[in-house]
């Protein structure tokens, strides 16, 4: 079904389009960033795709325009710290015209708003720089309101200056509490503010376009997203857990693109000529390409030309760590390779528990996302990188180590590939439906596991939290509906929609691409840089998924069988907090046969869990952490009187230190002394420990509690 939908999307969007001309308004004091022809075309194409194919079928009208406007202003200045009330009044004329702008590809209004924002940003930072050398009275009773999102826009420049003066005083006071050397503190703050100016001056029209397109797409629904070329590349790396490049992570330090980590076995590592903290001065493509100097570049722009297709050559001019900037750089030549991001893939561990004198081994598999290398998959490579392949290999190894039970940890797993959610479920059931998908025509497709092989048939649980979403909810919902395993944790996110990733390079016709290239590239054909696309990617919501029981996970998520208190505030994060989210609904059940039923055993498991929690110091500290978070989250101001702020900080620091030690002792670990560094790889995850204990209880109670006949569940 999705292949057909994708083709329809591509064909339907391949329209002849010519951007409507517009007259940009120059904003003195900003960098006066302006949209280009390419962005205008992309804007129109995205609007057409959303209008014609988005699942919600939301008309692009004045009502939506107002929502886009509000989101755009909020994304630029959520804290009401930059725009003046007069700016907002000036912008109000755009409230109901942004929909027309988008359909016409007219980005002048959106860029005008941004340029006014940048003007204010530069003004306020420069004003702050001028205040640093003032003599502040840190003994004066004064309060700084740092959380201003619910306050009205500041009306006058004098009031804005007063607020920013307080901000400078607050920043200096923070530094003063750490060091009494005020001259050094002022120099530190000066460099910090100067860096803010440097960073805003590096913003490009692509950044502005991304801000505005985010406001547009998320006004339609939270999960329809446009990604500019660099963000599209990063999204696809996240999905595949692989990248083609040199195998190093980069960061900008003092204007230099600097090597921060090196992947073992990657090209950078195998070259034996690159080390952490080396600085990249220039980059060249192939063995003979000209070097491009990258000093002062943004890191994402440098990454774009360092990454590239596997098997191609890249040359770097390197200044080794510690070498003077005036030294002659060395040239390092490397052939790009496919790098597997192992740190971001599924991982295993084995935990041991005691049950009536018997040792119980619980395998834990932590899955950060439902990832797949689509390119390898489409090319027919049977060893393509994916969540299911990785987990299957881990399960095989855990079985060899004779684990008694299993916990799949999906906490903070925001989802990913729908196909992977289905395939992963298939490792734990024989055959049967996994998820139902309803498209824009209200046609329902039932996606099934067709493979009769079961990789793991033993006792299992799935651990979830508020940030477990989408594919995580498909998997955990199916495991719960089949009675295949226990669901532990907190209510999940509630993302029950399906997105199709549309490569806009395929949507925009070649003749139009050549025309755009002639405008923006001086007659040269536009080509992708490194591993990036030219026009970016649209993730378009095209369907809604439902559990095999008929319930949607949309809005409500998956409710655990045994719940834990949520450190993540449920009223601030989750699909039900998104104004543009789709509602919960129900469709017909599918035909499926349950493999188990925990109804009989759940009361006993909950009783044992509650008994432990009633006397658990770790549980008590967890509840205290939640209470403290809520208390601090409600704060919106802070004292600028040094003695008061110091006492508050000291009290908070001591409380945190004492509670950390109490938490350590409760978990059987030694208390730390002041200044002592916490040992690496220490296990302080109380929730994961308790999940393993619940599985141990279940194993000790005997699996017969969950046995069922082969009765259909519908």
By annotation, the residues acting in catalysis are 470, 481, 495
Site of tokens 């029981």: 549
Angle, nearest 10°, between helix axes 108-131 and 182-201?
A: 170
334 CB burial (10 A radius; 0-12, 13-18, 19+): buried
Site of tokens 């030690």: 661
Q: 540: which residues sit within 8 A by CB, 6+ positions away? A: 9, 49, 50, 53, 54, 224, 499, 500, 502
- 155/87 Cα distance (integer angstroms): 10
Q: What is the DSSP string of 512-553?
A: HHHHHHHHHSTTPPP---TT--SS-EEEEEEEEEE-TTSBB-
Helices (H), 447-555: 471-482, 504-507, 510-520
Q: Which residues pair with 358 in a beta bridge?
A: 355
231 close to 536: Cβ distance less than 8 angstroms: yes
Give the β-pairing of 143-145 and 637-639.
Answer: antiparallel
- 378/373 Cα distance (integer angstroms): 9
- 679/682 Cα distance (integer angstroms): 6
- 212/218 Cα distance (integer angstroms): 10
Longest distance between any two alpha carbons in the chain, whole Å: 80
318 close to 330: Cβ distance less than 8 angstroms: yes
H or E stretch at 59: none
**DSSP class of 509:** -
Structure tokens at 50: 């959303």
Angle, nearest 10°, between helix axes 299-306 and 229-240?
A: 70
Strand order in the sheet with 347-355: 347-355, 358-366, 405-409, 460-464, 486-489, 562-563
Q: 86: which residues sit within 8 A by CB, 6+ positions away? A: 155
Its sign, for the CA torsion 165, 170, 171, 172, is positive
- 85/199 Cα distance (integer angstroms): 26
Site of tokens 């941004």: 114
**DSSP class of 370:** B
Structure tokens at 52: 């014609």
- 145/167 Cα distance (integer angstroms): 9
End-to-end CA distance of the chain: 25
Angle, nearest 10°, between helix axes 37-53 and 2-13?
A: 130
Residue whose C-alpha is closest to residue 274's, from 250, 301, 303: 250
Residue whose C-alpha is closest to residue 413's, from 443, 383, 428, 391: 391
Q: Which residues pair with 448 in a beta bridge?
A: 433
């Amino acid at each position: 079904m999705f292949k057909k939908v994708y083709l329809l999307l591509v064909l339907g969007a391949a329209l002849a389009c010519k951007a409507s001309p517009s007259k940009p308004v120059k904003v003195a004091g900003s960098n006066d960033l302006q949209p280009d022809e390419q962005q205008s075309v992309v804007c129109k194409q995205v609007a057409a795709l959303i209008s014609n194919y988005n699942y919600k079928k939301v008309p692009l009208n004045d009502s939506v325009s107002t929502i886009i406007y509000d989101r755009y202003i909020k994304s630029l200045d959520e804290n009401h710290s930059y725009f003046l009330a007069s700016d907002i009044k000036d912008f109000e004329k755009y409230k109901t015209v942004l929909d027309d702008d988008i359909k016409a590809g007219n980005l002048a209004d959106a860029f005008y708003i941004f340029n006014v924002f940048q003007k204010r940003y530069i003004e306020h930072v420069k004003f702050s720089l001028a205040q640093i050398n003032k003599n502040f009275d840190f003994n004066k009773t004064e309060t700084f309101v740092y959380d201003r999102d619910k306050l009205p826009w500041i009306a006058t420049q004098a009031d804005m200056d007063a607020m920013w003066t307080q901000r400078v005083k607050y920043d200096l006071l923070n530094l003063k509490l750490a060091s009494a050397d005020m001259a050094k503190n002022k120099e530190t703050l000066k460099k910090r503010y100067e860096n803010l100016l440097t960073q805003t001056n590096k913003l490009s029209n692509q950044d502005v376009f991304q801000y505005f397109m985010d406001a547009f797409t998320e006004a339609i629904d939270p999960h329809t997203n446009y990604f500019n070329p660099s963000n599209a590349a990063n999204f696809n790396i996240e999905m595949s857990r692989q990248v083609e490049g040199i195998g190093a992570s980069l960061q900008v330090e003092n204007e230099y693109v600097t090597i921060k980590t090196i992947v073992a076995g990657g090209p950078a590592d195998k070259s034996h000529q690159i080390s952490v903290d080396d600085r990249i001065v220039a980059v060249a493509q192939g063995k003979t390409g000209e070097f491009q100097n990258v000093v002062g570049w943004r890191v994402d722009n440098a990454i774009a030309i360092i990454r590239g297709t596997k098997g191609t050559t890249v040359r770097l001019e390197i200044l080794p760590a510690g070498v003077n900037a005036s030294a002659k750089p060395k040239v390092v030549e490397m052939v790009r390779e496919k790098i597997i991001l192992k740190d971001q893939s599924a991982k295993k561990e084995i935990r041991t528990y005691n049950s009536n004198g018997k040792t119980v081994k619980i395998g834990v598999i932590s899955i950060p996302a439902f990832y797949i290398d689509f390119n390898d998959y489409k090319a027919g490579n049977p060893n393509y990188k994916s969540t299911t392949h990785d987990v299957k290999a881990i399960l095989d190894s855990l079985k060899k180590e004779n684990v008694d039970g299993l916990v799949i940890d999906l906490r903070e797993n925001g989802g990913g590939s729908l196909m992977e959610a289905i395939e992963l479920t298939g490792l734990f059931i024989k055959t049967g439906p996994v998820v139902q998908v309803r498209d824009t025509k209200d046609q329902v497709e039932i996606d099934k596991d067709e493979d009769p092989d079961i990789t793991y048939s033993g006792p299992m649980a799935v651990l979830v939290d508020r940030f477990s979403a989408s594919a995580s909810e498909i998997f955990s919902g199916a495991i719960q509906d089949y009675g295949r395993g226990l669901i532990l944790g907190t209510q999940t996110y509630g993302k029950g929609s399906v997105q199709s990733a549309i490569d806009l390079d395929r949507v925009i016709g070649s003749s139009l691409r050549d025309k755009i290239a002639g405008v923006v590239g001086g007659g040269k054909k536009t080509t992708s840089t490194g591993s990036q696309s030219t026009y970016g990617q649209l993730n378009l919501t095209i369907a809604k998924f439902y559990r095999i029981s008929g319930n949607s996970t949309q809005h409500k998520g998956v409710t655990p069988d045994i719940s834990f208190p949520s450190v993540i505030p449920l009223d601030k994060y989750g699909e039900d907090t998104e104004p543009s989210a789709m509602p919960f609904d129900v469709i017909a059940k599918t035909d499926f046969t349950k493999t188990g039923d925990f109804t009989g055993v759940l009361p006993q498991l909950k009783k044992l869990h509650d008994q432990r929690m009633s006397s658990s110091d770790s549980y008590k500290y967890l509840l205290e952490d939640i209470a403290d978070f809520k208390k601090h989250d409600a704060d919106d101001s802070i004292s600028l009187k040094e003695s008061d702020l110091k006492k508050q900080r000291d009290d908070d620091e001591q409380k945190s230190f004492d509670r950390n030690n109490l938490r350590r002792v409760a978990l059987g670990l030694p208390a730390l002394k002041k200044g002592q560094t916490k040992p690496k790889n220490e296990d302080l995850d109380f929730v994961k420990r308790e999940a393993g204990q619940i599985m141990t209880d279940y194993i000790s109670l005997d699996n017969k509690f969950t046995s069922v006949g082969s009765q259909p569940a519908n």
